Structure 1
Amino acid sequence: MRARILDAAADLFLRKGYHDTSVQEVMRAAGVTAGALHHHFVSKKQLGLSVVTDRIAESVREAWIRPVEEARDAVSGVRAAFHLVADGLREQGFVRGCPANNLAAELAFADADFRAALQPIFEEWRGAIARRLVGEGREADEARDLATLVVAAYSGAMSVAKVEQTPEPLLIALRAVEGRLSLAG
């Protein structure tokens, strides 16, 4: 039941945003009563924070960290992650945005608890890319800077993709990032 509630909330937060999603909508989407929801989550904020730590963190691991860690090299991993997301968006036929970026844009400035929950996700994401780059002979500072560039380029491209309703900005950002990664060093 907890997983069903988290899945429903994650979907609604992605579609509508955290602030525009009511607890009643989450209950309806999950098919649970108020008692069942409040048994697992004492407040909407606790539910939102659990979505960040349980659903969004895992989606970043699945879409980004695993492809980067499993690839033959950092550039191949970054390429695989960009294509995984772009292909999924193309298949889906619409772009809602990146769950981590959407909630960061909506809540990170205004709510220190959400900022604290989101920060480790971005750190893990950049850290995975930086570790691969260091393993390929890059200096730690350069690797960290390049990893930040990759995440920032993806995040910005995803925002443009959301506005334009096409995954093409992701592929444009990928080309720029690949060029920068191959020039660095």
Structure 2
Amino acid sequence: MRKKVLDVAEEAFQARGYHASSMGDLMATAGVTGGALHHHFATKKALALAVIEERVAAAVEETWIAPVRMAPSAREGVRSVFAAVAAELERQGFVRGCPLNNLAHELSLADPDFRIALAGIFSAWRQAIADKISADQRAGRELGTDPQRFAALAVASYSGAMSMAKTAQDASVLRDCLMGLEQGVMSSKAGTRRRSRILHRAL
């Protein structure tokens, strides 16, 4: 029963938002009584925190963190996630947006517990990408890349792209943002190499 309630709440919060999803609606959709629901989740906030900590975090792990960790490199991992999500959204035919983004936009200023839970997921996501860059550097790659800045840019690019894709109902913006991300990073690395060569000649 707990899993069923989480399933219904996760879907409702993604489709309509937290504030627009009443406990009565959730109980009716899940087919549970108020007593049964409150046995597992004393309040709507407790239910939302469970969705964030168990479902949204798991979605980020499955969609982003695991693929990046398993990829040959951080850059290839980021590229593969953007491409896979864009392809899935195009197959699906509509864009609901990133579950983490949707709840972050709605709840971050509403309650400090929500903000902390959501920030923790963003932090783990960013750190996974940064750790992959660091692993690449130990293998002799990405030597001109700042791991934390690259990770922040990748997360921000994806989050912004998903927001725009949701508004436009057009997944192609993910491909555009990926191209911009790659060009920007490559341009930045080229600039770093040029500055290094100039400094070396000056010395």
- Tell me the TM-score normalised to structure 2 length: 0.87
Q: Which amino acid aligns with 2:168?
A: E
**How many residue pairs were aligned?**
185
Q: Which residue is 1:143 aligned to?
A: 147
Aligned equivalents of 1:151, 1:165: Cα separation in 2: 20
Q: Which residue is 2:65 aligned to?
A: 65
Q: Which residue is 1:48 aligned to?
A: 48
Q: Which amino acid aligns with 2:13?
A: F
Q: Which residue is 2:198 aligned to?
A: none
- Verify the 8 A CA contact 1:17 1:103 in the aligned structure 2: yes
Task: Please list the CA deviations of residues 28-53 of structure 1 after superposition, one character each: whole Å capped at 9, or x if unmatched.
Answer: 22221111111100000000010000
Q: Which residue is 1:157 aligned to?
A: 161
Aligned equivalents of 1:69, 1:113: Cα separation in 2: 29
1:139 CA displacement: 6.8
Larger gyration radius, structure 1 or structure 2: 2
Q: Which amino acid aligns with 1:177?
A: L
* Stretches of 4+ aligned residues off by more than 6 angstroms: none
Q: Which residue is 1:109 aligned to?
A: 109
- Tell me the TM-score normalised to structure 1 length: 0.95
Q: Secondary structure of the residue that 2:19 maps to in structure 1?
A: coil
Q: Secondary structure of the residue that 1:136 maps to in structure 2?
A: helix
- Verify the 8 A CA contact 1:134 1:140 in the aligned structure 2: no
Evaluate the alpha carbon distance shift between residue 97 and residue 116 of structure 1 in structure 2; reply closer, same or farther with a 3 A threshold.
Answer: same
Q: What percentage of residue pairs aligned between the two structures are identical?
A: 48
Equivalent positions of 1:1-185 (< 5 A) are 1-137=1-137, 138=142, 142-185=146-189
- Verify the 8 A CA contact 1:75 1:181 in the aligned structure 2: no
Aligned equivalents of 1:121, 1:171: Cα separation in 2: 24
Gaps of 5+ in 1: none
Aligned equivalents of 1:184, 1:65: Cα separation in 2: 25
Q: Which amino acid aligns with 1:5?
A: V
Aligned equivalents of 1:139, 1:79: Cα separation in 2: 19
Evaluate the alpha carbon distance shift between residue 140 and residue 11 of structure 1 in structure 2; reply closer, same or farther with a 3 A threshold.
Answer: farther
Evaluate the alpha carbon distance shift between residue 114 and residue 140 of structure 1 in structure 2; reply closer, same or farther with a 3 A threshold.
Answer: farther
Provide the aligned C-alpha RMSD in A: 1.6
Q: Which amino acid aligns with 2:169?
A: Q
